Amino acid sequence: MTPSPNRIALAGLLTSIALIFSYIEVLIPFNMGIPGVKLGIANLVIIISLYYLNGRYALAVNLLRIFISGFLFSGVFGIIYSLAGGLLSLLCMVLLKKTNLFSVTGVSMAGGVVHNLGQMIIAAVLVGNVKVFVYFPVLVFSGVASGFIIGILAFLILKRLPSKPL
């Protein structure tokens, strides 16, 4: 299947929006007193890409966002952590979406938790100690909470988009 120019352009726009959201998250520090907890507003664009376009486009948008925002805002380690979380999260969301058993919000919540899991795995590898997983229950809660908010927003946006992309 040849990708349409309109879908490619839409993916480019979504990537730009995701980068803007990443920048906003850098500018407006969200500090709940818990290190590593972020709103993940750029993930809103990934969920929309997944549901409105498909998994391949969502992967492209996610990878471009991770690398560009990593080079601009967080450096190599930021890219490594984001890749681990973003790719594992997207894989989980694609699989859950295919089952048709979960809502957009449910898929987003699972994605939030699995994103944190991916980052914890990288942390354990880099530190060389699995004791970092003691912190994981806190990240499960934050992943569910942020995934819920992002999922509700994505659902509301998807309802307002035309039924088929260009």
Mean pLDDT of 103-132: 92
Query: What pTM did the predictor assign?
Result: 0.90
Kindly indicate the confidence band of residue 166, based on its pLDDT and cuts at 50, 70 and 90. Answer: low
pLDDT tens string 120-145:
899 899 888 888 888 888 888 989 99
User: Could you give the 3-state DSSP secondary structure of residue 33?
Assistant: coil
Chain segment 45-54, per-residue pLDDT in tens: 999 999 999 9
pLDDT at 19 over 70: yes
pLDDT score of 28: 78
Looking at residue 134, what is its pLDDT? 86
Residue in this structure with the two tokens 């890409």, named with its chain if needed: 49
Res. 34 pLDDT band, cuts 50 70 90: low
State whether residue 100 is helix, strand or coil: coil
Phi-psi region at 81: left, alpha or beta (left = phi > 0; alpha = psi -120 to 50) = alpha
Distance CA 109, CA 86 (A): 13
* Per-residue pLDDT, 164: 74
In the prediction, which pLDDT does 136 show?
A: 85
Exposed (0-12), middle (13-18) or buried (19+): which is 94, by Cβ within 10 Å?
Answer: middle
